[in-house]
Amino acid sequence: MIVDVGGIKVHPGVLDAGEQAELVEQVRRVVRAAPLFRPETKRGRKMSVRMTSAGRYGWISDRAGYRYERHHPDGQEWPPMPALAKEVWRRVSGVSRDPQSCLINYYDADAKMGMHQDRDEANFEMPVVSISLGDDALFRVGGAERGGKTQSIWLQSGDVAVMGGDARLNFHGIDRLRPGTSSLLPNGGRINLTLRVVD
């Protein structure tokens, strides 16, 4: 079963409980090598999510703007991409290229993400694949213009969303979490992985 939310295809329960735990372990390995940081927007506001990346490129936001970089802010290359995340991409992306970036977002109980487009990549024919782990999150999807009609869905741990085709540039964001809905992460919260071809 696939659920269409404003053109974004949500595949519920792609990862079972064992795979979710394994992916969390792989994410912990990344975070040990490339610590989470709280990015600033161009306007100097701190985002509420904490981020890091794995793979060839990581996504960075600071006073200089949004972009992909080969290095963590601490100067080191990003660690290798979690193997299980790459496997999910191969299962659901529908394209033959492998992802070059795995952005890791950590949400605590109060974190959210404002409506945005993913448009820092060179080739919009390549989809974005997103994996949810931990607490449920309310995902809102609009159209290609800011301010239009939106639809929402609660993303659960193990769900995978694919943003491609005509929906590739749709606005989307996370309104809020439902704390305590998952026991996957001992301290609660949510991890979101987004996989992309960058260049």
Which residues pair with residue 100 across a beta bridge? none
Residues in 124-163 at the binding interface with Fe ion, rule: CB under 5 A? none
Binding characters for ligand MD6, 116-155, by CB under 6 A (x = yes) = --x---------x-x--------x----------------
Question: Does 53 contact ligand MD6 by CB under 6 A?
Answer: no
Question: Does 20 contact ligand MD6 by CB under 6 A?
Answer: no
Give CA torsion, residues 165, 151, 197, 16, to 10 deg.
Answer: -110
Q: How far is CA 78 from the centre of its chain?
A: 16
Among 161, 167, 195, 197, binds ligand MD6 (CB under 6 A): 161
Question: Does 163 contact ligand MD6 by CB under 6 A?
Answer: yes
CB of 198 to ligand MD6, least distance (A): 13
CB of 75 to ligand MD6, least distance (A): 26
Among 174, 177, 184, 197, binds ligand MD6 (CB under 6 A): 174
Please say whether the beta carbons of 144 and 8 come within 8 A.
Answer: no
Q: Burial letters for 74-84: b for 16+ Cβ neighbours within 10 Å, e otherwise?
A: eeeebbebbeb
Q: Give how many residues touch Fe ion by CB under 5 A.
A: 1
Binding characters for ligand MD6, 90-109, by CB under 6 A (x = yes) = ---------------x----
* CA-closest candidate to residue 33, choices 68, 76, 69: 76
Between the alpha carbon of residue 62 and those of residues 18, 42, 86, 149, the distances in Å are 36, 6, 27, 30
Which residues pair with residue 122 across a beta bridge? none
Partner touching 68 among ligand MD6, Fe ion, none, CB below 5 to 8 Å by kind: none
**Residues forming the site for Fe ion (CB under 5 A):** 118
